Structure 1
Amino acid sequence: MYRNFSLKLLLVSVVIFAFDLMAYAASDGNVLEADPQVGTQAKGTYMKAVLLDSLTKEPIEFATMSGKYIGEQTATRYALSDHNGVVVVPNMRVGRATVTIEFMGYKTESFTFDIKKGANDLGQIYLQEDINQLESIVVTGVANPMVVKKDTLEYNTAAVKVNDSDMLEELLKKLPGIEIDSEGKITANGKEINKIMIEGKTFFLDDPQLATKNLPAKIVDKVRVVERKSEQAQFTGIDDGEEETVIDLGIKKGMMNGWFGNLMGGYGTEERYQAAGMLGRFTKTSQVSVIGNANNTNNRGFMDMAGSMMGGMRGGRGMGGGRGMFTGNGITESWMGGVNAATELFDGKLELTGNYMYSGSDKNVQEKKIKETMLSDNNIMYNYETGYELSRSDGHRIGGEIEYKISDKTSLLFRPSFNFTGGDYESFNDFVTLNNTDSTNRGLSKEWGENNAQQANGMFLLRQRLGKPGRTMSVRLDYGYSNNELDGGNYSTTNYYENNTVDSISVVDQRFFQKDKSYNLGGRISYTEPLGKNFFVEGAYRYNFKETNSDKNTYNQGATGAYDMLDTLYSSHYENTFITQRAELNFMKQEQKYNLTVGVGVEPATTKSYGRGRDTSYTVTNIAPAARFDYRISDQKFLRVRYRGRTSQPSINQLLPIPDNTNPLRVTMGNMNLNPEFTHSLNFEYRTGNREKFSWFGTFIDASYTTNKIVSKSWYDDNGVQYTQPYNDGTGVYSLSGRAMYNSKIAKSNFSISSMTFVRFGNGITYVADKGDYVKNITETLSLSEHLTFSYRNDFIEVRAGGRVNYQNAWYSVQSIDKVATWTNEITGSVNATIPGGVNIVTDIAHKFYIGYGDGYGDNSTVWNAEISKQLFKNQITLKAKIYDILKDAKNVYRTTTENYIQDTENNTLGQYIMFSLVWRFGKFTGGGPGMGGMRGPGMGPRR
């Protein structure tokens, strides 16, 4: 029944999406075209005006101008101003109308005007700022949620409803194309976000979760997803293709030039608690923020750098083995506090940014999983595991940025960062292995350890213009240092079976100490020269040097009971030096409508390794062509094509020739003879928007082909123990993926639709030996997903309903039996309503059902949450009660598909609890009427 439902839901989603595309294509041709006199033109009878700021005389973008005829109850004709402040309201008729112009932070202009046939030019209209309006205005339900610019996709936060206690994460989750996973990782249009900025200034450097988990949603006016150019390209004006995708937040004007903040505290059943606070001051030239967060509700307010640095030394030598850290979410208690500051001095010539943070977490993961490993035709290895992991980590993080604009021609940039982390962990695992139906082994394992790590990284950039426009030189230096120490032990006992009878028993009882150090130093020098007629040439050279040293000493228990017997098999000293160079020549053509770059690079890479008493050294050279094409079709249409070749070095874990037996069933070891990979990447992106239809469409296609791919070679002994080592495969590995997103108001009503479709097809390679020669296994994987959401929004209520379908399948060349495809399906709904008296009610429900999972992993689940809140004391205080998982049915189940195995995993969850909390908003944060979804934003329709 569920399988048929999934198929139907997927087909319905595809049909709706296709219909949306056709509708969009049909409406897209109606966008107003440019007019040299007023900026836009229209046929028939229409109004036009130019909207300007009364003080600065600058144009105002996204303001609303509407026309309501005498006797009409509501205005049904309105339009938004463009980046020149030009607004055209089409489809008017002859008669007397009330013209209203609205924009957040400005006084509303309203007057009557006699509409005549043809063009009705209202001339320049100056809007006056109204700070008091920011304190009391409410949001109407009609807003243009997204606007396409050249390298920016801008979201209008007034198009969604948020509550007083919501953080930025809750706002981002409601924006089309932006997704946040259970670990807090943000992707926008399929691209990972590693940096969040506030009004162009970086917030806590490279930890976006510090913003998403700690900034109140209601201070945000705009969310801009920006393809940010490199510092060099920003200075020279010449695109070097080194852009990164960031989120830049626009702050509401009422929050500028004054202190504001909020404090939140809550306590609930099951001893759950949460506390958070933020104090901030933002101006055009400076920013100061102090944040704090503590809870045991899985709401970690930062990236777990301490945990990730500790996990980098545990297990997983090579590929496909080593249990390492548990993968599930579990239950986390976390705490953090930090300060971030940025300022401009000497009329903006000197910009200083600095931040400090202390953070820590306690994590408890309970996990069970079933794993199917493909050996050969009709031969499958089954692993059943249950276990837990307890881990604790904390650390200090310091970062800064200094940019000094010495003159219009010279600029210096320095960006250092430091991390000091530590932690400890303990894990236990109970396992059983079956070869088809016969028991192969059964046992348990335990691992524990303490970790300390230090990191220092930095970047220095000198940029210089050399007189002639377009003639520039830049020099960049990068450095890094890391030191990681792990002191721990592992114990395991394994029973090996023959004909379902215990044949032998193996016991491992060891203590170990491991110390990894690495140093890296790199530099790039670039020179650009104009060739005339907007042609430029760039010559560049890059050099990177990285040295890694790893020492591991493993000891067995001696006759005295002390762990003083060195185990040479699991101990080693290892050194690796990796040197890469790139000499490149690029030709660029830059026009108002498009940029084109074509270039080629030569990349020699040298690897030198020492370990196990032997040296290895080799050099490979790759030709790395590159091409970039950006085409601005119009203000609302943008096309981008990218091609690039890139070398990737093996990791230290893949190189280190020391067996890792922390998981007695999967022993892994690195390979000193690994060569770097080389990947060809092709990316296509098209974005378009329609201001008049309040719609947006984007499509993104990514293709890659990797040569010299690092894959895994695995073999099994008679006891079913897997041994794995990485290996360079001579054949290529490919991946092709596509994303399509569509968002639109439905006929300019309060209803809207959002659709996101994703497809990926690729292959992977492994080598498996099962009591014989190696067999090459080629795995082809297919993933399809559709996420469809309908929403309704007015001043007092927001209703959202939707569904998500995810299909996964894999085909293994060593298996003639088709594996069962999996479907992960979800139906969701939510209501956010404000009723008289300043009472807000929110409820959301999500029903998940699974198809194709292993026994015990595919049970359906329904998670229902509800909350009620009340604003007091002129909206400065909010009291809230929320119940999580009303039906006590939450589950955390997922499937992992790799080149040679399929694994289903289930983790523990928080379960049901009730939280009572209080939020205090102070300073510039006070005010705002009940039911605000954020203060009145740009692009709003007329008041009803």
Structure 2
Amino acid sequence: MNRFFALLITVFFASNFAFAQEKSVTIKGQIVERGTKLPIIFASVELFHEKDSSLVTGTVSDDNGFYEIEKVAPGNYRIVYSYISFKERSKKIKVTSDSAVVDLGVISLKEDVEMLSEAVVIAEVAPVIVKEDTTVFNTSSFNVSEGAMLEDLVKKLPGAAISEDGKLTINGKEITKIMVDGKEFFTDDPKIALKNLPANIIEKAKAYDRKSESARQTGIDDDDDETVLDLSVKKGMKKGWVGNVFGGLGNKERYDFGGIMNRFDDDMYISVIASANNTNNTGFSELGDANVRLGNAGSGITTSRMVGATFAKEYSNLELGGNVQYGYSDNKAERESASETFLSDGSSYGRDTTRSRHKRDNLGVNFRLKWKPDTMTTVTFRPNFSYAQNDSESDGVSLTLNNNLDNVNRKSSSSLSEGENYSVGGRLQFIRKMKKKGRSLSLSANLTYSNSESDLFSNSRTAFYFYDEDDEFESDSISMLNRYTDRGNSSLNYNLQASYTEPVFRNHYLRLRYVFQQRKSTSESFIYNNDDQSLIDSLSSDVDNRYNTHQIEVGLQGQYPKMNYNIGLNVSPQESKSESFIGTNKNLDQSVVNYSPNLRFRYKFSKQHSLMFRYRGQSSAPDVEYLQTVIDQSDPLDVKYGNPDLLPSYKNNVTLRYNNYISSSQRSYIANASFANTINAITNRVYYNPETGAKETHKVNIDGNWNTSALFTFTTPLKNRKYSISSTTSGAFANSVGYTSLKRGADAAESETKDLMLSEKLSGIYRGESFDITLNASVDYEKTKNNLQTKNNSETFAYLLGGNTNITLPWSINFSTDANYKIYSGFADGFKENEVIWNAQLSKDFLRNNAATIRLKIYDILQQQSNLRRTATESMITDTRYNTLGSYFMVYFVYRINTVGKGAMSDDDDDDDKFKRGGFGPMGGGFGGGNRPMR
């Protein structure tokens, strides 16, 4: 650690010395649109030697149209400015050593009103541009099928991935918010934008770390970032309403109806969305607390209905925005799983089959207001409300086998539950910048109240099989349970925060912050025997929890032209109290002090070439629930206990990020690496009864839990810019430690599972005038080793070979198809079938201006799709498969509405034609295929 700080100090002073000694010529200026004078973002600026026209260097303009080219040697040059759909400009310049800066002033580009050939457009557009921590994707470089949604486009972006539960990550970082032209779109629900925004209205998608409201207003980083995806709408889609209505019917009683209307302008947008389908397109995230539901709404077959509206409006000193959404979903899931549990003298195996149905109604309302009474003051207010009702039912059969594959127990169970929950809250923030640069004051208050209630009826029949010393079947016994559970939870959480920043010496700022937080919660679970309606005290609980936290933070920030850093310490004294009024749990009081140091260092080689290092330590006390003697013993085969002797945990997180974009070749490189380990991690100590197959799980502290990951993304067009390739290489390793024991109270064996995951994804794209094709290949490798059962270590491979093509035919006919061949190896028996997923669609545009489309879609033509996944913990491996929609076809009618005036349309090279040809299509209508770039 001392060597690390010595190295950091050396780099700090060496960098400052280099900055002081560096005397090079810098060329700068600004690029704007002729007429509107609006800045052009990411315009290309290239510097050539005048003598031989060889390229010297290049850059792109920033969010305000400004650019800088550093370290230019004296000489004669020609500088060229270009941007898609604008006429190229160039000028000769002479650079001398007389001045350190050559300011070329404002350069205006004129739109090219003549239609450019598609080949020229492709040659000018870089698929990916990287600048510091911002990654910009030019959507015209990524082909999607006609009618595709944003989700289909995002799946094609290098470094982007959407998980099984719908979470979007780009370059390994989760996207928490999607914005449209810098304005929030349905607040904190990225799924709505992914599943409902048409891909063909998006010109650029920009992923970056968005600073907090306080940091954006004061310019002083508070290390409270969130990763967002900001979408730029094509200018041809503005100044009017654009949208569609559609309807589709298919075999197997499939249907899909809906519509979306959008109005985008420079200072406002409005979007209204509605849909109803039984094709697994919910179009939104579930709202509120989902703890009262059973089943997995993310798997199986879902029927859904939703309606929502969102808006944002900017005035001279006021910004308003908000959204309201209602959704209904009915999910029917069939689940099969095979698991292996690692024990000290063998393994236990499990098989499980479950059918479930989960119905849910959601209502969510969010509003945001930002008021700037003057240039130095900002007030924001964000109230929110959500409400949900849940109805669930499930039944299933599970089987446990011992190491000899003899039956140990067989359980059949069923349950029925219903419940509701709601939440209301708000955040008020006041930010004041002072006259002295860097001095600011921020005050905020947060309040959230939530409540949930549910009723659960459950019954089960468990048969236990007993064997003699020679493993011969001896006898069995039956356990019957018939219970009713009445649950209720409520919580009140508020915090008050004050933050102050002060410039202390040149390029350095001191940040002080204090937060007081109080959380009160009540948890009730009354369990009754349905046979005689008697309360089971030993299983019931009624607990009040109280938390008081004081958070004190001190930080120092240094800002230089090429380097900036943050270093700070967070100290949080915390008091918690738990009172139990029924059952076996005891009253608990706990006082701890949590420490969280942090360090972030960023070095900018240039505006498009940077390196970032971050360290964050975090101390956290165990949840009061984990300190209770009994957590849950409603299932006699899986009893969970807490531990009043749990210690606080301390987690170390290290992140390294490298970005580089070479404008002359339009190549981008992105590399991320991370490492995390936890001291006194809270894990499970499992006592397994080999005679009954039942297990008891206790919470304990342990060392040895750590993980690391890395990701590298490379994107480049080839010499002929109609071709481009991208590669994403990633790897992760996790070391998970727990305890297992075959005898209660005996010394437990340490179960250590090492899980290695490697992945490589390659993609090649060809874009022609009436034809495009994308080829994909990937391999995912996972190796899991456990120290207790080395002979049962597993290796799995999942290969994918696939591609998609889009063909524009005469008479306004479009054809798209995609196919993926998936090969599975190493999974449990019955869970490793290979599959070929082949989809196709054919569409015909008609009516005036091709305003209508008839489209035929066929899904899973070969009827081979499965839904397979693997999970690994410190003591278990599980393979799971869910039911899927299977093969079906749909016939759609789509009618496009477009009130954008012709004058506005000319702003973007006839985007009206793009709009008509690309189509909005049914929500989620893409296959992940591609459509050719529009002219």
- Normalised TM-score (structure 2): 0.86
CA distance in 2, matches of 1:689, 1:932: 32
Q: Assess if the C-alpha contact under 8 Å between 1:847 and 1:863 holds in 2.
A: yes
Cross-structure match for 2:611: 639
Residue 720 (structure 1) shift: 2.9
Which of the residues 775, 791, 806 maps onto 1:832?
806
Cross-structure match for 1:876: 851
Cross-structure match for 1:602: 571
- Amino acid of the residue matched to residue 895 of structure 2? W
Residue 441 (structure 1) shift: 0.6
Residue 185 (structure 1) shift: 1.5
Question: 2:377 aligned with 1:392, yes or no?
Answer: no
CA distance in 1, matches of 2:251, 2:495: 53
Between 797-806 and 349-358, the greater mean CA deviation after superposition? 797-806
Q: Assess if the C-alpha contact under 8 Å between 1:693 and 1:748 holds in 2.
A: no
- Normalised TM-score (structure 1): 0.85
Q: Give per-residue Cα distances to partners, 1:178-223, cap 9 Å, x unaligned.
A: 1123332211111111211111111111001111111111111110
Which of the residues 472, 477, 491 maps onto 1:518?
491
Which of the residues 538, 544, 548 maps onto 2:521?
548
Which of the residues 203, 213, 219 maps onto 1:231?
213
Cross-structure match for 1:582: 551
CA distance in 2, matches of 1:193, 1:648: 25
Q: Give per-residue Cα distances to partners, 1:347-381, cap 9 Å, x unaligned.
A: 1x11111211000101011111111001113x111
Cross-structure match for 1:750: 722
Which of the residues 55, 69, 86 maps onto 2:35?
55
For 1:390-469, list aligned pairs within 5 A.
390-436=357-403, 437-469=405-437
Which of the residues 852, 867, 871 maps onto 1:892?
867
Residue 694 (structure 1) shift: 1.6
Residue 545 (structure 1) shift: 1.8
CA distance in 1, matches of 2:140, 2:66: 20
Which of the residues 263, 266, 281 maps onto 2:248?
266
Cross-structure match for 1:666: 638
Residue 532 (structure 1) shift: 2.6
CA distance in 1, matches of 2:934, 2:332: 51
- Amino acid of the residue matched to residue 244 of structure 1? E
Q: Give per-residue Cα distances to partners, 1:411-440, cap 9 Å, x unaligned.
A: 111112111001110111111111112211
Which of the residues 343, 349, 367 maps onto 1:375?
343
Q: Assess if the C-alpha contact under 8 Å between 2:585 and 2:628 holds in 1.
A: no
Q: Assess if the C-alpha contact under 8 Å between 1:680 and 1:704 holds in 2.
A: yes
Q: Assess if the C-alpha contact under 8 Å between 2:251 and 2:888 holds in 1.
A: yes
Q: Give per-residue Cα distances to partners, 1:373-406, cap 9 Å, x unaligned.
A: 01113x1111111121111001100001111112
Q: Assess if the C-alpha contact under 8 Å between 2:685 and 2:700 holds in 1.
A: no
Which of the residues 592, 606, 611 maps onto 2:561?
592
Residue 663 (structure 1) shift: 4.6
Cross-structure match for 1:28: none
Residue 325 (structure 1) shift: 3.3
CA distance in 2, matches of 1:847, 1:860: 8
Cross-structure match for 1:493: 461
Q: Assess if the C-alpha contact under 8 Å between 1:577 and 1:607 holds in 2.
A: yes
SS at match of 2:126: coil
Which of the residues 308, 323, 326 maps onto 1:338?
308
Between 442-451 and 810-819, the greater mean CA deviation after superposition? 810-819
SS at match of 1:570: coil
Which of the residues 706, 709, 720 maps onto 2:678?
706
Q: Assess, with a 3 A threshold, how the Cα gap between structure 1 residues 787 and 818 changes in structure 2: closer, same or farther.
A: same
For 1:474-489, list aligned pairs within 5 A.
474-489=442-457
CA distance in 2, matches of 1:859, 1:56: 59
Q: Give per-residue Cα distances to partners, 1:98-132, cap 9 Å, x unaligned.
A: x99874565x4699x9999xxxx999864345789
Q: Assess, with a 3 A threshold, how the Cα gap between structure 1 residues 278 and 385 changes in structure 2: closer, same or farther.
A: same
- Amino acid of the residue matched to residue 755 of structure 1? S
Q: Assess, with a 3 A threshold, how the Cα gap between structure 1 residues 556 and 131 changes in structure 2: closer, same or farther.
A: farther
CA distance in 2, matches of 1:396, 1:424: 15
Residue 36 (structure 1) shift: 4.7
Cross-structure match for 2:758: 784
| Number of residue pairs the alignment of both structures matches | 856
Cross-structure match for 1:147: 129
CA distance in 1, matches of 2:299, 2:697: 28
Residue 163 (structure 1) shift: 4.0
- Amino acid of the residue matched to residue 928 of structure 1? D
CA distance in 2, matches of 1:86, 1:386: 61
Q: Assess, with a 3 A threshold, how the Cα gap between structure 1 residues 844 and 691 changes in structure 2: closer, same or farther.
A: same
SS at match of 2:677: strand
SS at match of 2:791: coil
Question: 2:280 aligned with 1:298, yes or no?
Answer: yes
- Amino acid of the residue matched to residue 868 of structure 2? V
Q: Give per-residue Cα distances to partners, 1:894-931, cap 9 Å, x unaligned.
A: 11111100111111111110111122222257831599
Q: Which ranges of structure 1 fall in alignment gaps of 5 or more residues?
A: 1-32, 41-49, 68-75, 89-96, 315-323, 936-940
Q: Assess, with a 3 A threshold, how the Cα gap between structure 1 residues 239 and 601 changes in structure 2: closer, same or farther.
A: same
Between 718-727 and 904-913, the greater mean CA deviation after superposition? 718-727
Residue 488 (structure 1) shift: 1.2
Cross-structure match for 2:258: 276
Residue 139 (structure 1) shift: 5.8
Q: Assess if the C-alpha contact under 8 Å between 1:368 and 1:907 holds in 2.
A: yes
Q: Assess if the C-alpha contact under 8 Å between 1:255 and 1:924 holds in 2.
A: no
Between 771-780 and 239-248, the greater mean CA deviation after superposition? 771-780
Which of the residues 834, 841, 844 maps onto 1:860?
834
Q: Assess if the C-alpha contact under 8 Å between 2:272 and 2:310 holds in 1.
A: yes
Residue 853 (structure 1) shift: 0.7
For 1:152-301, list aligned pairs within 5 A.
152-301=134-283
CA distance in 2, matches of 1:828, 1:852: 21
Residue 737 (structure 1) shift: 0.9
- Amino acid of the residue matched to residue 633 of structure 1? F
Q: Which ranges of structure 2 fall in alignment gaps of 5 or more residues?
A: 1-21, 48-54, 70-77, 95-102, 468-472, 901-910, 921-931
Q: Assess, with a 3 A threshold, how the Cα gap between structure 1 residues 62 and 520 changes in structure 2: closer, same or farther.
A: closer
Q: Give per-residue Cα distances to partners, 1:735-773, cap 9 Å, x unaligned.
A: 111111111112243111111111111211211121343
CA distance in 2, matches of 1:707, 1:65: 50
- Amino acid of the residue matched to residue 870 of structure 2? R
Question: 2:348 aligned with 1:362, yes or no?
Answer: no
CA distance in 2, matches of 1:824, 1:747: 32
Question: 2:879 aligned with 1:904, yes or no?
Answer: yes
CA distance in 2, matches of 1:273, 1:431: 35
SS at match of 1:817: helix
CA distance in 1, matches of 2:151, 2:522: 40
Cα root mean square deviation, aligned: 3.4
SS at match of 1:847: strand
Q: Give per-residue Cα distances to partners, 1:296-345, cap 9 Å, x unaligned.
A: 11122001235xx23x246xxxxxxxxx6348611111111011111123
- Amino acid of the residue matched to residue 363 of structure 1? N
